[in-house]
Chain A
């Protein structure tokens, strides 16, 4: 059947074309319908699909559906549908078109069966998403978007370099397990790592996501990083390095999230923390761990977009997103508040919510393989998640001090999109089988045994207890600057201060080094400019005389080379 071989990204690109041409309700309907149809089409596929196409003497595989890619395909369709629904009220064609193109590129990337196709979609992903940031139309967003684009394109260039070396070495462009045995593997891992926000490579994420439009961030949070997770799962499963990278990613954002005031920035850090769990799962590399990483990516996309949507709704209705500026919104936005709490409960992995069933898989896999310390660090990170994403977000936005802002519930399409996401969070949490049977390596796992539920619940309740107690002491909310001799003080005051001093020193060194380098560079550029601008030296020398001289020099050199070595 020809329909089965229709690559999934084509409906998305068609949708983008429709979004460009149609207007009003017709456009809304068509965009949603085409994504829904594409999802159904994917669901109805009878089995694995491999479409091949000859190119430059290689076999391109622009569309490969197998157990691993199809799970991501499903969740990308869900995320695209929710994000489009959430942004329907926006009257900005640029956002609709680039959103669909972006989602389509992500779908294209995960179904890419060879490295060249992957590279093409990898770059498309970068370019299309930048427009979602620029659509905010502020100077800050423009600059952030530009830096974002540069980093993303750089990732693409590194990928291309890696791919060329890899192809040269193996003679095959197929995208399967790559490994880090040679330079090609390292380059490709670096390219994937940039998109997956590995530590030190993550700054584009925390800088850009808070700058995008309220609806654009929902798109962004779903696709770029999860595409990278997919490629890591495909190319580097069981690479031990990734365990440590993952644990670092899971732990360090906790400390940074605490000191952020912009709630979308808090969510961005927590996004990295969640990616850490997945990268760790891929690094462990057993079937249970890989399934756990995939399951975690699946549920994570949904609850993360739910959280970004609720914060987007707040930003859209009030125009503010700083923790110090908002608060007490539950009075006027009760539905949003409840939906946000469901998302928060999911990310904190409460039993019966979707985060629980995925995260415990990775934790179990870690302990099964004997990585006790890793398990412990991940457990710590889970507690951290509860603190910064599970409590900080809903508490500061909807409760805490009353900011006096009186607004209303967001538009219906926003509420509906959030409701669908919240429903999915609960449904997957209560009936995990639905998700488990999709998993690529078919591991058998039961999250709801006594130890898991008890351990997780204990952890969560103690963390909450700590928060409530600190809150009653009046030390928690960031707007109160009183100094208390308290455990809190260590990480709210001492640590930041210590860190600040260290950072200032590093920054100063960095700054002087950089300015010295930039001065050098500028001198060099000035020199080039002097040489080459139409009034410059390279120009003003009379070309004829100059060239005849060169002719003579070259002739002399050739003759010398030719005639003096005759024997």
Chain B
């Protein structure tokens, strides 16, 4: 049984998705989805333990050996992210039962869970597989289903947003496919580790170089790196709250994983160094992205858009860690991947709870909510503090490692800029606080109450995780360091 964990992780949600259609009763489907996601979470926990104690696991699909069959390969890096994705997905699903009843028509609930589980399948598949073409397949599964769960709500603007996302996502996926295809042309293999062995022979060929170019642009579209981020704010702002919480916490993170995996395990860091000043490009795009998106966030009137722009800025930090190109830098990137997922999931769930009560995500409708929904608002403040990087929250831990990595590289002006940009985060978080606590109520009526327990519990689970991992960093820092070591160990 445990030997099949790598594939079960992916297969369980894949088969569960169509089963949802047979169950039909919306509440039952919801509970079923929670169990499926929880099963994936338990499996990924088991995998992480296994990888930490026994090292990398290689699983051959159907018993076919690697270069011919499809191989799933679990190491520290992807088991860490598998744990994150399945964990966040489970917690978010806990809140979904009440949340979607408000935001979706009754007859679409079953479809929502079906698409959600498919999206989960796609994300977990991308993480688990060691086959370059398989990555593309799962990328399409996750993308197509995420267009669905974005557009499935009653907000008609979500349709346009989802359409934009579809166009951009398809271009991104096509570019990735072109990249994979060109590599296949030159090497005749699709297995990542086989590719890594055969590529050095053809490093100088223009086909491989073009493959790399197409691949980078495609992935950067998927992970919403400035200036390719424009699809993201609308998609996050108008999607149902549960979708936003799930996608904001996981989908861009998985795209970053793909980038890291290809750079380190497929192309190899020396190829990247030789062919492209990628560190400098990422440094500039990351920094500009941080500032432009943060400033945009301070001007938003819709709180979901506000935090969506903040997500773009946070991706800037993540890419900045990558641009450093040292072990410390990758550690910071991985830490921030994990920590940012925790923050954004907590924030968007809390925003969803407010939407459940007042039916709006406009910032000025938040006036006076501090008294009406104290626990939910406290969660937003805690998430905001974490976003700023206040000590005792996860935000502090990842900022600390990022700044240390920057100083270690000797880029202290960049470190100063990073700290300055936190001040902009103070501004947009403070705007929320001001509306919530210091503005007299305008439109909220007397009957607005605290969010229901079914939403408060998942929200506070995430908030407490924000604080817990901000204090006890053994798991996150330990695993990130191990993963960074192995990434460099393989290629140096």
Q: Which of A509-567 contact B (CB under 8 A)?
A: 528-529, 532-534, 536, 538, 543-544, 546-548, 550-551, 554-555, 558-559, 561-563, 565-567
* B366 contacts across to A, CB distance below 8 A: none
Q: How far is the CA of A57 from the CA of B328 in the complex (A)?
A: 13
- B54 CB-CB contact with A under 8 Å: no
Which of A165, A554, A561, A567 sits near B276, CB closer than 8 Å?
A561
Chain B 217-258 against A: per-residue CB contact (8 Å), 1 yes, 0 no? 100110000011011001000000000000000000000000
B interface residues, how many (CB within 8 angstroms): 46
Q: Which residue of chain A has the shortest Cβ distance to B420 in the bound complex?
A: A157
Q: How far is the CA of A567 from the CA of B204 in the complex (A)?
A: 8
Q: How far is the CA of A228 from the CA of B471 in the complex (A)?
A: 27
**Shortest Cβ gap from A162 to chain B (Å):** 12
- A30 CB-CB contact with B under 8 Å: no
- A18 CB-CB contact with B under 8 Å: no
**Shortest Cβ gap from B103 to chain A (Å):** 22
Q: Say yes or no: B231 contacts A563, CB within 8 Å.
A: no
* A119 contacts across to B, CB distance below 8 A: 391
Q: Which residue of chain B has the shortest Cβ distance to A548 in the bound complex?
A: B171
Stretch at the interface among B42-50, B205-213, B453-461: B205-213
* A555 contacts across to B, CB distance below 8 A: 175, 213-214, 217
Q: How far is the CA of A544 from the CA of B165 in the complex (A)?
A: 8
Q: Say yes or no: B231 contacts A528, CB within 8 Å.
A: no
Q: Say yes or no: B210 contacts A562, CB within 8 Å.
A: yes
- B216 CB-CB contact with A under 8 Å: yes
Q: Say yes or no: A56 contacts B477, CB within 8 Å.
A: yes
**Shortest Cβ gap from A128 to chain B (Å):** 15
* A547 contacts across to B, CB distance below 8 A: 164, 168, 227-228, 230-231
Which of B168, B206, B407 sits near A165, CB closer than 8 Å?
B407
* B213 contacts across to A, CB distance below 8 A: 555, 558-559, 562-563
Q: Say yes or no: A562 contacts B220, CB within 8 Å.
A: no
* A161 contacts across to B, CB distance below 8 A: 416, 419
Stretch at the interface among B109-117, B292-300, B341-349: B292-300
A120 and B391 contact, Cβ closer than 8 Å, known pairs A544-B164, A546-B230, A566-B209: yes
Q: Say yes or no: A554 contacts B217, CB within 8 Å.
A: yes
A558 and B477 contact, Cβ closer than 8 Å, known pairs A534-B301, A566-B206: no
Q: Say yes or no: B296 contacts A544, CB within 8 Å.
A: no
Q: Say yes or no: B407 contacts A558, CB within 8 Å.
A: no
* A558 contacts across to B, CB distance below 8 A: 213, 216-217, 276
Q: Which residue of chain B has the shortest Cβ distance to A183 in the bound complex?
A: B412
- A164 CB-CB contact with B under 8 Å: yes
Q: Which residue of chain B has the shortest Cβ distance to A161 in the bound complex?
A: B419
Stretch at the interface among B18-26, B30-38, B397-405: B397-405
- B465 CB-CB contact with A under 8 Å: no
Q: How far is the CA of A550 from the CA of B397 in the complex (A)?
A: 34
* B217 contacts across to A, CB distance below 8 A: 551, 554-555, 558
Q: How far is the CA of A532 from the CA of B167 in the complex (A)?
A: 24
Q: Say yes or no: A164 contacts B407, CB within 8 Å.
A: yes
Q: Say yes or no: B295 contacts A532, CB within 8 Å.
A: yes
> Among the interface residues A116, A161, A554, which one has the most CB atoms of the partner chain B within 10 A?
A554
Q: How far is the CA of A116 from the CA of B298 in the complex (A)?
A: 30
Q: Which residue of chain A has the shortest Cβ distance to B274 in the bound complex?
A: A565
> Among the interface residues B275, B277, B299, B408, which one has the most CB atoms of the partner chain A within 10 A?
B299
Which of A57, A529, A533, A544 sits near B168, CB closer than 8 Å?
A544
Q: Say yes or no: B234 contacts A563, CB within 8 Å.
A: no
Q: Say yes or no: B404 contacts A164, CB within 8 Å.
A: yes
Q: Say yes or no: B477 contacts A533, CB within 8 Å.
A: no
Q: Which residue of chain B has the shortest Cβ distance to A566 in the bound complex?
A: B204
Q: How far is the CA of A559 from the CA of B209 in the complex (A)?
A: 8
A563 and B210 contact, Cβ closer than 8 Å, known pairs A551-B171, A551-B228: yes
**Shortest Cβ gap from B424 to chain A (Å):** 11
Which of A57, A165, A536, A543 sits near B230, CB closer than 8 Å?
A543
> Among the interface residues A120, A528, A532, A563, which one has the most CB atoms of the partner chain B within 10 A?
A532
Cβ contacts A to B, 24 pairs, < 8 Å: A55-B473, A56-B400, A56-B473, A56-B477, A120-B391, A157-B419, A161-B416, A161-B419, A164-B403, A528-B295, A532-B296, A534-B302, A536-B299, A544-B168, A548-B167, A550-B227, A554-B217, A554-B220, A559-B213, A562-B213, A562-B275, A563-B213, A565-B275, A566-B206
Which chain A residues have a beta carbon within 8 Å of chain B's beta carbons? 55-57, 116, 119-120, 123, 157, 161, 164-165, 168, 528-529, 532-534, 536, 538, 543-544, 546-548, 550-551, 554-555, 558-559, 561-563, 565-567
Nearest first, the 8 A-B pairs at minimum CB distance are: A532-B299, A558-B213, A543-B230, A562-B209, A168-B407, A532-B296, A547-B230, A550-B227
